[in-house]
Each structure stands twice: as C-alpha cells, then as structure tokens.
Amino acid sequence: FTTAAALTAVKIMKIIIVVTLVQHCATKSYSRYAFLGGACSSMNVGMVEDSPRSFRGTFTFVHEVGHILGSVHDGDQADTEIRDHPGALGCPEGDEYIMSSISTSYNRHRFSKCSSLQILVFATNEEGCCLIERAQRHTEPVDMSRVERWIGPQKFCKLRHPNIGKVKYVKEVPQNIRHKLGSKYPPGIKKCQLLCEAVINSKVQYFRHDAPDGTPCNENDKSMVCVNKVCTKPPTDMTTFNKHRVIRVHRPPR
C-alpha cells in the first residue's frame, strides 16, 4: 500500500483527511481520528497530525483510511453496524500490520488478511456503495524520483531528530562498530532503512527509520528505489488510477 496508492484511495472515495502540523504540547504522541465505515456518508472525514516532510504521519494516514473503509483494529471484534462485518479476531495485534496499534515490524506496510476482508465486505455492502461507482479516471503519472528532490536523507535525519545537535545520515553502520552491536545492527539503505547517526553523551547511537517510497537504495543501479520497504525497480507505467474496477455485488437492503 504505497503512499501513491493512499492518495489515490482518497481521490476515489472523496474522503477528507485533515493533516495538521501542530503537535500537542503535553505529549510527544501524534493524534489521529476517523469514523469507522464513514467513506460513503457525511462522516467521510479524518484527522492526522504530521511533522512537515518527516513522513511521520504516512502510516497513520493509511491506518485512518483503513478505518474509514470499514476496518477495525487487528484483534478486535466485528462491528455491529456494518452488515456482515467479519471483525479481526483472527489477526493478532502482535502481527503488527497496518491496522495494529503497534508499528515496528516489516508488516506495518501491509493490511492483514482480516483488514482486507473487512474492506471487501464494506465495499460490497450498501454502506460502501460509493466505492465502486464509476469515477472519472485520472492518469496522473507517479514519479518516484520526486521524493529525493523533496527531502534528502541528511535533512530527513535532522527533521526526525530536531533535538539532537549532531545527527547525520549514514548509508550503513561502519564495519568497526558492527561487532559491538552483534546481530542487532541495522542493515541500512540496502534494506530500505535510513540510518541517522548521533553522538549522545559521548556515545555513538543509530536510529533507523523506514525510507520513504522513492528513496534510491542501490548505488550500482540508480533505477532501484524503496517501495514499501523493498529495494526494487518501480513500474514505469504507474499512474494515480489503474484501469480496473471492483465488480459490484448487489445485495438486497436490510
């Protein structure tokens, strides 16, 4: 579920996501809110906090869109308002997919099978009727190279760690330090992780962050970029909309 796909979803559903740039003073946490299954009603709104160009709010944004599309948190029971809602008891929160409140693993870029089923059920219900109405097909090209022009890795590290004076981007942990970290040392940009090196209390520390989609990840092949935390060659024909439609499953009203 790429950032481009998330923006596409918003255009399809006419969802309003308000991205605020103000952080709460009393806490370092970021706020978010959305109405479950509100995509086709007057409740098709959500709110996400973000720091400009830090990409902190990207996963939160997709998480809230998941709610608006009818998906509860992984591990939660079925919703009683959405018809035939299957719930997510079969997908433990600890698996850390998009709809989990925990987001530290590789799965954070993907919806669980429970979330996928909930979204499908919602889209084929009367509640989700607007999701499959024929819409005007935009064909705006998606150019991954724009990400690097927006924000380089060095600036990314400074934005993510504004309270650390000496912080810099490194492609990977130096060889002479890896043995100290053992098997826990972060792999770096080859695995689509941006490493920020900082000196805190005279000790070198490394902070790892998921590289934004479109970040170059292979020095020997400049065409390879990060997409959902995988270093790969992106499709050359990516657009904001594809040409396929979900086939409408008509159900009688309740």
Q: Considering the candidates 64, 96, 140, 148, report the single residue annotated as catalytic.
A: 64
Q: Place 132 in a pLDDT band, splitting at 50, 70 and 90.
A: confident
Residue 84 pLDDT: 94
Residue 230 or residue 6, greater confidence:
230
Rounded Cα distance, 31 and 62, in Å: 14
Q: Is 93 a catalytic residue?
A: no
pTM tops 0.85, yes or no? no
d(CA 32, CA 62): 11
Helix, strand, coil tally for the chain in percent (to 5): 30, 15, 55
Flag whether 24 is marked binding: no
Among the residue ranges 16-30, 102-116, 158-172, the one predicted with the least confidence is 16-30
Note the pLDDT tens digit of each residue in 57-91.
778 888 999 999 999 999 999 999 999 999 999 99
pLDDT at position 88 is: 97
- Mean predicted lDDT score pLDDT of the chain: 77
Contact 93, 108 (CB under 8 A): no
Domains of the chain: 3-136 (3.40.390.10), 140-174+184-240 (no CATH)
User: Is position 67 annotated in a ligand binding site?
Assistant: yes
Distant-in-sequence, close-in-space partners of 5: CB < 8 Å, separation ≥ 6: none
Average pLDDT over residues 170-177: 77
Q: Confirm whether residue 85 is marked as ligand binding.
A: no
Residues 6 or more apart from 170 whose CB is under 8 A from it? 188, 195, 196, 197, 206
